[in-house]
Amino acid sequence: MRGILRRTVLLTAVMALTAGTAAAAEQSKAPVKRPKVAVIGTGGTIAGVSASRVDFQDYQAGKLPISELVGDLRPEVDGIADVSTVQFGNQGSGGYSIADYRRLTETVDNALRSNDAAVVTTGTDTMEEFAYWLDLTVRSDKPVILTGAMRPWTVIGTDGPANLYNAIQLAAGRKTTCFGSVIMLNDEIQAAREVRKTDALRMDTFNSGASGVLGVVDQDRVRINRAPARVDKCGKPSWKTPFDLDKIAGKGKTLPKVEIAYSYQDAGGEAVKAFADSGADGVVTAGTGAGGISPAMNKARTEAAKNGVVFASTTRTGNGAVYDDTTDGPVIGAADLSPQKARILLLLSLAATDDVDTMRGWFTTLGTAEFKSRG
């Protein structure tokens, strides 16, 4: 009797173990929850169509829908993320207005409410402005990745598919949470505030000057080597910029007009005067060296400033900084922001306040890539 009981207990244990092993095996087969990534298409070269497979520069930008581009990456992309698509627009990046930028911010924020990250495809011509605008206006700290291409989707050797796949992979990994907006092109990850297009045709056109890249994507390895300064405020209310468009630029409200005036040898003051006379609220000067402008342009700037036009001073050199001089009235040093990015920051600043000192503070905090001492 004891032998029968012992065998019964042993058989029950074996059956339980077998059932447990089978359940564990079945559980291991259960689908792993993939991160949700929204890909928002705006057009550009990446969505371009060429007449032949070797028309690397003669093509029509913004022709292919974003759903088709993502579809071409399947099934591979399905292994890294649950990808949905949104067609915001389909044209070259230079065709978008500031009003369109406002709608793009809303589109990205809406996508991030139900997704873990967002990828925005754009043309490269003004990609750095797209990226910096989103960096300053998107309210969510989830990853926002911009990508595009230097060659249309339909040519031999196009960089578009690899750039889009890598951007989705970067977004899915969520390693850039609290980084703000970043650009992923040519396997390199770069901060929106620092990156700039430096070549009209080469595929390695984007770089970040002295700051360098944030990291790289090497096949299935995403390596982050440094972070933008704003990650220091991750999880804090101050991580968000003051530029909540719902508050500073409600529907129907026109955003300030800001222009850029380029200085050169013996430059006249007509451009600055014309901008001021046409109703510009602000003007960015792209000066020589550390922000110098010609005597005639300086005179025009002084006159315009008396009439309430606010100026930001930048350098046309492409590198280096223009430091702020608080004795220079309504002229704000834009640190190492490019003229086009200083325009974006000045435009949003003017929308949020009339106080030049407050704007100056934003240029020296939001406008800098510098980490602040904890001491």
Q: Among all residues, which ones are annotated catalytic?
A: 45
- Please give the Cα distance from 58 to 63 (Å, whole number): 14
- Please give the Cα distance from 305 to 328 (Å, whole number): 10
- Judged by DSSP in three states, 228 sits in coil
Residue 149 burial by Cβ neighbours in a 10 Å radius (0-12, 13-18, 19+): buried
CB 124 within 8 A of CB 148: yes
- Please give the Cα distance from 105 to 121 (Å, whole number): 14
Beta strand extents in the chain (DSSP E only): 36-43, 49-50, 59-60, 82-91, 117-121, 144-147, 181-185, 188-191, 196-197, 206-207, 215-218, 221-224, 258-262, 282-287, 310-315, 331-333
Report which secondary-structure segment, H or E, holds 366: none
Neighbours of 364 (CB within 10 A): 16
Torsion angle of the four alpha carbons 187, 190, 192, 197, in this order, in degrees rounded to the nearest 10: -70
- Please give the Cα distance from 300 to 215 (Å, whole number): 43
